[in-house]
C-alpha cells in the first residue's frame, strides 16, 4: 500500500507543472530584464545625448546673439555658459584650424586665355591656385575658425557668424544663419574670425567668453590693396569657396537664398557659390570684343536694345564679304554675318547657330532684307539693329533642335520650324541670346577672317540693354572681424 502511494506521488503531473511554471516565469523575467538592458538602456543614453545636444544648440544660439553684439561694437566682451553633461568644447582658432575653416573669394574674366581650362575645374577647392598670378584673376581669403562642441559623432559649432549641427551620418544642418547676405545685387559678407586654442572636457558648466577691439578689416572694396577691388564690380564672375566641417549646410543655406545657388566639393568639404557679374550696359564705343551677361531666362523678350552703328575704316567703305559677330559658350556657337552682296549701299545679314551637344545640330538663317549703307568711301555708315521687327529671316534647314520642347537643348517659344519659314530678326535675337547665355556671360568677337577689317572701331558705337538674369552681382562688401575666444 505504501509503495503504491509513493509511486503515485512521484509520478504526479501537478508537481511537474508547478516546477515547470516557476522555471518559465523565471525565464520570462530574465529575458524581459535582458531585453530592457539590451534595448532600453542604449535608448535612454541616446535620449540623454539628444537632450544634451539640444541644450548645447540652444546655448550656441544665445552665444551667437551675444557674439553679434561684440562684433557690432555694442559690447567689448560677452560670456555664455554651456551646461556640459558629456563631450567637450574646443576653440579652433589657430593656423592649423584655419586651413579647414576659411573663405576664399575670387573674381575672374571669362575672356582670359586661361579661363577655359580653369572653368572645367572651378568647382573644386584650390582650383584657382594655378592662375592667381594672372591679371585677369583676383583672389583674397579670410580664415574663420570655429568653436565646436563634440560628443561621439555629434558636432555642434559656431562658425562664420552662424550655428551649425552635424550628425553621425555626416549631414549638417543650420541652426542659426551665418553673416552671409545677398539680395540679388549686393553681397555683404562680414567674416567672423575666431582666435584662440583651448579645449574643455567635463560635466560641469563652462563659460565661453568672446572679446574684440571692434576694428573690422575691410577686404573688399579695397583699391589701396589691389586696384581691381572696386565697386561696381568689373569682373565677369565672383566665386566664393567656403571650406568647413559644415560645408553641406553652408551650401543648403546659399541655395535657400532667392538669387544664389551653390555646389559642393565633398572630397574637400567645400561649398562653392558662383555669381555672375552683369557687364556694363548702355551706348559706348564699339570694341572688337564685347560682353553680354546672362539674360533673364524667364523673360520672353529680355533684350531691349542691341544695335551697332558702324563707320567705315578706310576708302574702301563698308564692303565686307564675311564680317562676323560671333560668340561661343561650351558646345554652342552663335554667329551673325554681314556681307555686301547685292549692291554697294547695303549689307545682308545672316545667322548661324550650332550646338555640338547630343540632340544639337545646325540652324541657318538668311535675311530677306538688307541694312542700308549711307555715304561713300571712308564716310560710309550703317546701323545694324539686331532687334529689327521689319527685317525677316528665312530658315534654310530641314529640321530644328533649339525651338520648342523636343530636346534638352531647346527653349520656348514652342515653334516647329520648317524650311523657308520666315521670322523677324527680333525673334531670333531674343531666342538665341537666351540660349547662348544660359550658362553665364559670353564674349562676342568682331572680325572678318582672312581679310582686312572694314570697321572703324573708334568711330563706331554699340548700344546694348537687356534684362539680366536674377542673381547677378553688382556690388561686393567683405570685411573681417577678429574675435578672441577663451574658456572659463
pLDDT in tens, 150-198: 988 899 999 999 999 999 988 999 999 998 899 888 999 999 999 999 9
Asked if residue 218 and residue 146 are part of one domain, the reply reads yes
Asked whether residue 112 is domain-assigned, the answer is yes
- Residue 186 in 3-state DSSP? strand
Q: What's the first-to-final CA gap in the chain, in angstroms?
A: 90
Residue 41: the pLDDT is 45
Instruction: Note the pLDDT tens digit of each residue in 295-305.
Output: 998 899 999 99
Asked if residue 360 and residue 246 are part of one domain, the reply reads no
| Structural domain range at position 130 | 48-277+474-487
Query: Which of 14-28, 146-160, 259-273, 390-404 comes out lowest in average pLDDT?
Result: 14-28
Confidence class for position 49, pLDDT limits 50, 70, 90:
low
Asked whether residue 384 is domain-assigned, the answer is yes
Asked whether residue 35 is domain-assigned, the answer is no
Cis previous bond, 221, omega within 30:
yes
Residue 450: the pLDDT is 86
Asked if residue 338 and residue 258 are part of one domain, the reply reads no
Residue 408: the pLDDT is 74
Residue 18: the pLDDT is 66
Buried/exposed code over 233-267 (b: 16+ C-beta within 10 A; e: otherwise) = bebbbbbbbbbbbbbbbbbbbbeebeebebebbee
Is the pLDDT assigned to residue 55 strictly greater than 80? yes
Query: Strands 475-487, 186-201: parallel, antiparallel or unpaired by DSSP?
Result: parallel
Confidence class for position 47, pLDDT limits 50, 70, 90:
very low
Asked whether residue 182 is domain-assigned, the answer is yes
Find out whether 142 and 483 touch, Cβ atoms under 8 Å. no
Asked if residue 214 and residue 85 are part of one domain, the reply reads yes
Confidence class for position 20, pLDDT limits 50, 70, 90:
low
Confidence class for position 125, pLDDT limits 50, 70, 90:
very high
Q: What is the mean pLDDT of residues 289-293?
A: 93
Is the pLDDT assigned to residue 7 strictly greater than 90? no
Distance CA 174, CA 183 (A): 20
Which residue is associated with the grid cell 577655359?
Answer: 116
Distance CA 447, CA 327 (A): 11
Confidence class for position 35, pLDDT limits 50, 70, 90:
low
Asked whether residue 10 is domain-assigned, the answer is no
Is the pLDDT assigned to residue 36 strictly greater than 90? no
Asked if residue 326 and residue 262 are part of one domain, the reply reads no
Asked if residue 256 and residue 126 are part of one domain, the reply reads yes
Is the pLDDT assigned to residue 40 strictly greater than 60? no
Asked if residue 346 and residue 273 are part of one domain, the reply reads no
Quickly count: other Cβ atoms within 10 Å of residue 477's Cβ: 15
Distance CA 148, CA 445 (A): 52
Q: What is the mean pLDDT of residues 3-25?
A: 59
Asked if residue 233 and residue 149 are part of one domain, the reply reads yes
Residue 28: the pLDDT is 72
Largest CA distance in the chain: 149
**Cell numbers describing residue 437:** 547665355
Instruction: Note the pLDDT tens digit of each residue in 395-444.
Output: 999 889 999 876 778 888 888 899 999 999 999 999 999 999 998 889 99
Q: Which helix (H) or strand (E) holds 435?
A: helix 425-436
Asked whether residue 36 is domain-assigned, the answer is no
Asked if residue 365 and residue 251 are part of one domain, the reply reads no
Asked whether residue 2 is domain-assigned, the answer is no
Instruction: Note the pLDDT tens digit of each residue in 339-384.
Output: 998 777 899 999 999 999 998 999 999 999 999 999 999 999 999 9
Distance CA 482, CA 195 (A): 7
Global pTM reads 0.77
Residue 111: the pLDDT is 87
**Cell numbers describing residue 360:** 544639337
Asked if residue 249 and residue 229 are part of one domain, the reply reads yes
Asked whether residue 30 is domain-assigned, the answer is no
Is the pLDDT assigned to residue 3 strictly greater than 80? no
Q: Minimal CA–CA distance to 471: which of 261, 167, 158? A: 261
Is the pLDDT assigned to residue 9 strictly greater than 50? no
Distance CA 354, CA 469 (A): 23
Asked if residue 394 and residue 269 are part of one domain, the reply reads no
Asked if residue 373 and residue 266 are part of one domain, the reply reads no
Residue 483: the pLDDT is 96
Instruction: Note the pLDDT tens digit of each residue in 66-100.
Output: 998 898 888 899 999 998 878 899 999 999 999 99
Confidence class for position 215, pLDDT limits 50, 70, 90:
confident
Residue 44: the pLDDT is 46
Q: Which helix (H) or strand (E) holds 47?
A: helix 41-71
Residue 295: the pLDDT is 92
Q: What distances in angstroms separate CA 380 from CA 26, 46, 128, 203, 286, one per listed residue?
A: 110, 84, 47, 87, 16
Mean pLDDT of the chain: 89
Q: How many domains does the chain have?
A: 2
Instruction: Note the pLDDT tens digit of each residue in 240-259.
Output: 999 999 999 999 999 998 78
Amino acid at each position: 500500500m505504501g509503495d503504491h502511494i509513493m509511486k503515485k506521488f512521484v509520478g504526479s503531473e501537478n508537481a511537474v507543472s508547478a516546477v515547470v511554471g516557476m522555471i518559465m516565469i523565471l525565464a520570462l523575467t530574465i529575458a524581459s530584464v535582458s531585453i530592457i538592458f539590451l534595448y532600453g538602456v542604449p535608448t535612454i543614453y541616446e535620449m540623454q545625448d539628444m537632450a544634451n545636444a539640444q541644450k548645447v544648440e540652444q546655448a550656441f544660439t544665445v552665444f551667437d546673439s551675444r557674439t553679434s553684439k561684440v562684433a557690432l561694437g555694442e559690447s567689448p566682451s560677452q560670456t555664455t555658459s554651456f551646461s556640459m553633461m558629456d563631450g567637450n568644447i574646443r576653440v579652433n582658432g589657430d593656423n592649423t584650424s584655419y586651413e579647414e575653416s576659411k573663405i576664399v573669394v575670387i573674381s575672374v574674366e571669362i575672356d582670359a586665355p586661361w579661363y577655359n581650362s580653369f572653368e572645367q575645374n572651378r568647382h573644386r577647392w584650390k582650383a584657382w591656385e594655378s592662375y592667381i598670378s594672372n591679371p585677369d584673376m583676383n583672389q583674397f581669403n579670410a580664415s574663420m575658425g570655429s568653436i565646436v562642441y563634440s560628443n561621439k559623432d555629434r558636432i555642434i559649432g559656431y562658425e562664420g557668424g552662424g550655428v551649425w549641427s552635424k550628425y553621425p551620418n555626416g549631414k549638417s544642418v543650420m541652426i542659426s544663419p551665418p553673416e552671409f547676405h545677398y539680395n540679388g545685387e549686393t553681397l555683404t559678407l562680414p567674416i567672423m574670425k575666431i582666435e584662440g586654442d583651448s579645449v574643455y572636457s567635463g560635466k560641469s558648466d563652462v563659460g565661453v567668453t568672446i572679446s574684440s577691439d571692434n576694428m573690422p578689416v575691410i577686404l573688399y572694396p579695397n583699391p589701396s590693396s589691389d586696384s581691381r577691388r572696386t565697386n561696381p564690380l568689373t569682373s565677369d564672375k565672383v566665386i566664393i569657396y567656403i571650406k568647413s566641417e559644415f560645408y553641406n549646410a553652408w551650401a543648403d543655406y546659399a541655395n535657400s537664398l532667392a538669387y544664389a545657388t551653390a555646389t559642393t566639393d565633398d572630397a574637400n568639404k567645400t561649398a562653392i557659390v558662383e555669381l555672375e557679374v552683369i557687364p556694363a550696359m548702355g551706348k559706348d564705343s564699339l570694341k572688337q570684343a564685347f560682353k553680354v551677361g546672362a539674360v533673364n531666362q524667364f523673360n520672353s523678350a529680355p533684350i531691349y536694345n542691341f544695335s551697332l552703328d558702324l563707320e567705315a575704316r578706310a576708302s574702301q567703305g563698308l564692303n565686307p564679304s564675311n564680317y562676323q559677330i560671333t560668340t561661343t559658350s561650351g558646345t554652342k556657337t552663335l554667329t551673325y554675318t554681314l556681307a555686301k552682296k547685292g549692291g554697294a549701299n547695303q549689307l545682308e545679314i545672316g545667322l548661324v547657330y550650332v550646338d555640338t551637344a547630343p540632340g544639337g545640330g545646325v540652324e541657318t538663317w538668311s535675311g530677306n532684307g538688307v541694312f542700308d549703307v549711307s555715304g561713300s568711301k571712308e564716310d560710309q555708315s550703317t546701323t545694324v539693329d539686331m532687334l529689327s521687327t521689319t527685317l525677316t529671316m528665312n530658315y534654310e534647314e530641314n529640321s530644328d533642335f533649339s525651338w520648342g520642347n523636343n530636346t534638352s537643348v531647346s527653349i520656348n517659344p514652342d515653334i516647329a520650324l520648317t524650311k523657308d519659314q520666315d521670322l523677324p530678326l527680333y525673334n531670333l535675337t531674343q531666342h538665341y541670346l537666351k540660349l547662348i547665355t544660359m550658362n553665364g556671360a559670353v564674349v562676342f568677337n568682331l572680325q572678318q577672317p582672312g581679310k582686312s577689317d572694314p570697321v572703324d572701331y573708334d568711330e563706331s558705337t554699340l548700344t546694348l540693354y537687356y534684362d539680366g538674369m536674377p542673381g547677378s552681382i553688382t556690388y561686393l562688401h567683405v570685411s573681417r572681424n577678429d574675435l578672441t575666444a577663451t574658456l572659463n
